[in-house]
Structure 1
Amino acid sequence: YEMNDSDVEQLDRSEKGYQRIKIQVCQPDGETLEAVTYQSTQLTDDPVAYDWYKDLIITGAREHHLPQDYIAYLEQLPAKPDKTKSKPVH
């Protein structure tokens, strides 16, 4: 995605505990682009993602047409329920 400065600042505020860093991304055609990502030095003893976050990642991978074998890899990762999120009423 291309973002303007105010969007990046908003993202910085929402990514508490993470630092924005610049990285180089190699495109399929060999072109290299500069991008930003977020990283944290905070480690957890429970590195399993919440189920809603795993679903978000898989949905994004599908929407961006990532390789099917990578999507399958994401689908097999463990996930846990988020007890702080309320469940939808049916």
Structure 2
Amino acid sequence: MYYFAYGSNMCTARLARRVPSVAPVGPAWLSGHRLHWHLVGNDGSGKCNVVETGDPGDRVYGVLFELDPARLDRLHAAEGPAYDFLELTTGHATGQATAAIYRGRADWLDDALTPFDWYRDFVVTGAAEHGLPPHWIDGLAKVPTVPDPNAERAAENRVILDEIPANVTSAIR
């Protein structure tokens, strides 16, 4: 199955910790949506979410991955109850693909939230790693952040940014 990542899961090392096998397909986009950082994370900070606008000019860039649909337990657990798991049509270099996506539930949204710096770094790293458009990466890098008050959690997450996962494979085409 295809999975469209638009937040921290764009960082291959982060996603690779959550699924047994990761196969990047490449850059993709979701039309008629905007990216927000307002989903209430388990740690109380803002996490990425896509909001449907219906305007075809609105676009969220992300990464298309191939994942084994029978082995998503840890990914579902990591994303938690704040998200619905659904399928939407995404665009990519060779056309369109139906992809699974996590979209935030309305009762888990708070526009007053700010992401932790390490979380934003996952998003920016993943976008750069997969060659998303420079204007998109620049916009992600400018998102205001706050330091995580839990230094241990911040350090544990920053370690992932330097990992080279062993469970990354080539996408099946």
TM-score range, shorter chain: 0.7 to 0.9
Q: Distance in 1 between matches of 2:116 and 2:144?
A: 9
Task: Tell me how far 1:9 sits from its aligned partner.
Answer: 2.7
> What is the identity, as a one-letter code, of the residue corresponding to 1:2?
E
Please, what is the CA RMSD of the aligned residues? 1.7
Q: Distance in 2 between matches of 1:11 and 1:34?
A: 19
Match of 2:99 among 35, 44, 61: 35
Query: Corresponding residue for 2:138?
Result: 72
**Paired residues for 1:29-68 under 5 Å:** 29=94, 31-40=95-104, 41=106, 42-68=108-134
> What is the identity, as a one-letter code, of the residue corresponding to 2:139?
Y
Tell me the TM-score normalised to structure 2 length: 0.46
Mark the CA change 1:5 to 1:51 in structure 2 (over 3 Å): closer, same or farther.
Answer: same
Q: Secondary structure at the match of 1:49?
A: coil
Q: Could you give the per-residue CA deviations for residues 39-89 of structure 1, whole angstroms, max 9, x where no partner exists?
A: 12211253311101100000001100111111111111101111124265x
2:57 is aligned with 1:12: no
Query: Corresponding residue for 2:91?
Result: 26
Q: Distance in 2 between matches of 1:4 and 1:54?
A: 27
Unaligned runs of 5+ in 2: 1-64, 156-173
> What is the identity, as a one-letter code, of the residue corresponding to 2:92?
Q
Unaligned runs of 5+ in 1: none
Percent of aligned positions with the same letter in both sequences?
28
Structure 1 runs (4+) greater than 4 angstroms displaced? none
Aligned length: 87
Greater RCO, CA 8 A, separation 6+: 2
